[in-house]
Amino acid sequence: MSPIRSATIAALASAVVATTLAGCQFGGAEQDTSPIWIAADLELSGAAAPVGRTYQRALDLKVEQLNSSGALNGREIKLKVKDNRSDSAESLRNIADFSSDSRISAIIMGGCNECAVGAVGTINEKRIPTIALAASGAIADPVAERRYVFKLGPNAPDSAAALTTELRRNNIRKVGMLVSDDDYGREGAAALKSELDKARIALREQRAKATDTDVNKQIQQLAAGKPDALVFWTPPEQATLAATSAQQTTFRGPLFFDAGAAGDLFLGGAAKATERATLIFTQTMVIDDVIATTPAKAARRQWFQDYTARFGGYNGSSSFAADAVQLIVDAELRAGGEAGKVNRNGIRDVLETSQMDGLSGPIRMTPDNHSGLMPQALTTLVARNGRWRLAG
C-alpha cells in the first residue's frame, strides 16, 4: 500500500471513529452494528445514462473503500440502486419506494435536473434526506421549501463568474453560446448574461434539447454571427458534439465549456475538435497534475488513481457521488438515536451544517445554503493532446 493511500485511510478512519465515539462513549449505550442503507436514483438507461453509469461506479467504489477502511465502528454501508430511465415520472416512483423503506437513511439522486426538481415536494413530505448530483439551482433553493433536499455539484453563478473571468482575460468581446434547454441551461444563460453585461461582452445564444444528438444547425447560426469565442453550456456528450460541429464551420476562435459539460478525462474522438478548449471544473479532474501538499489533495489524488485503475479512465463527475456518500455516512454516524433505527431528522440536521474538504473540493452546507460546493472548488482546465490539463 502506498504511503499516501495508507495516510489517507488512516486520516479517514480517525475522523469517522472520532465522530462516532464522541456520540457514544458516555452513558454506555448499546453499540449500533446495523447496516447503513443509502438509496440511489440514477439514470442507468435513456438519454442521461453515460453520467448515471459514472455515478454508479463511483458509489460502488466509495462504498467498498469505506466498508474496508475499518472506520465505521462495526457497521457496513449497503446501496439500494434503482434506474429512473432518465424519466422524471419513473424517478418520482423510485423516491416514493425508497421513502417507504424504513431501513434507508438517505437518497442520492443522479444528474437529471427535472427528476430532482420534480421530486422536491415528495422528498419534503416524506422527510427523507436527499443529496442531488444534478446542477439546477432550483433543486436546493429556496431552502425554506427544501429542508430535506441538498445539492452537490457546480453552481451556475459560480461557473458563470469563472467563465467570464477567462473570457475577459482572453480579450473576448463577442460570445456565441449553445445552451441546453432545461432548468440548468436557462439558469446558466441568465447567470452568464448577467456577468457578461457587467464585463460589456456581447452574447448571442442558441438552445438545444438535452436529448438532441445533432446541433449542427445551432452551431452554424452561432458561427454566422462571427463571435470571438463559443461557450457550450450543455451536458458532456452534447458539448463534444458541438465542438466537432464548430470545427466544420468557418469559426476558428476559442471554445469554452461550463462545468456541467465536464465528462471523461480523455477526449477520445473529439480530441482534435476540442484541442486548447477551456473548461471550468474542479481540480479532481486533473489532480495528477497537482502536487499533493495537503491530506485533502492526497485523498483526491488517491481517488483519481483508484477510480482510473478500476475503470480504465476517469470521469470528473465521479467525485460528487463519492462525496455524497461520505456526507451521508458522516451524518448517520453523528446523528445518534436508537440503535438499529434510522434517525432521518437527525441526519438532515447534521447534513445542514456539514463541512468537508471533499474529493470535489471544499464543501460547506448551512441552514441558508443547501448547495454545498464552494466557488473555490472551481478552477480552469485546458484540453491538450486529447485530455484535460490544469491551465497555466
Higher pLDDT, 9 or 317: 317
CA distance 270 to 237: 10
One-letter amino acid at 101 equals D
Percent pLDDT > 70 in the chain is 92
Q: What are the grid coordinates assigned to 215, written together?
A: 446541433
pLDDT at position 6 over 70: no
157-176 residue pLDDT tens: 999 999 999 999 999 999 99
Q: What are the grid coordinates assigned to 242, written together?
A: 458541438
Residue listed under C-alpha cell 413530505: 125
pLDDT at position 218 over 80: yes
Beta-bridged to residue 266, according to DSSP, are: 387
Average the pLDDT over 319-333 and give the result: 97
Q: What are the grid coordinates assigned to 61, written together?
A: 467504489
Q: Are 355 and 365 in contact (CB under 8 A)?
A: yes
List every span in the chain annotated with CATH 3.40.50.2300.
3-154+294-375, 156-287+378-390
Average the pLDDT over 209-223 and give the result: 93
CA distance 150 to 211: 26
pLDDT category, 276, cuts 50, 70, 90?
Answer: very high
pLDDT of residue 277: 97
pLDDT at position 322 over 60: yes
Determine whether domain 156-287+378-390 maps to CATH 3.40.630.30. no
Which helix (DSSP H) or strand (DSSP E) does residue 206 occupy?
strand 202-208
Higher pLDDT, 26 or 379: 379
Alpha-carbon torsion (152, 155, 158, 162), positive or negative = positive
Q: Is the pTM of this model over 0.85?
A: yes
pLDDT of residue 29: 57
Backbone angles phi, psi at 141, to 5 degrees: -140, 135
What's the Cα-to-Cα distance from 37 to each of 63, 104, 146, 340, 350, rounded to whole Å?
A: 11, 5, 22, 11, 17
CATH among 2.30.40.10, 3.40.50.2300, 3.60.21.10, 2.60.40.10 for 3-154+294-375: 3.40.50.2300
pLDDT, mean over the chain = 91
Average the pLDDT over 42-71 and give the result: 95
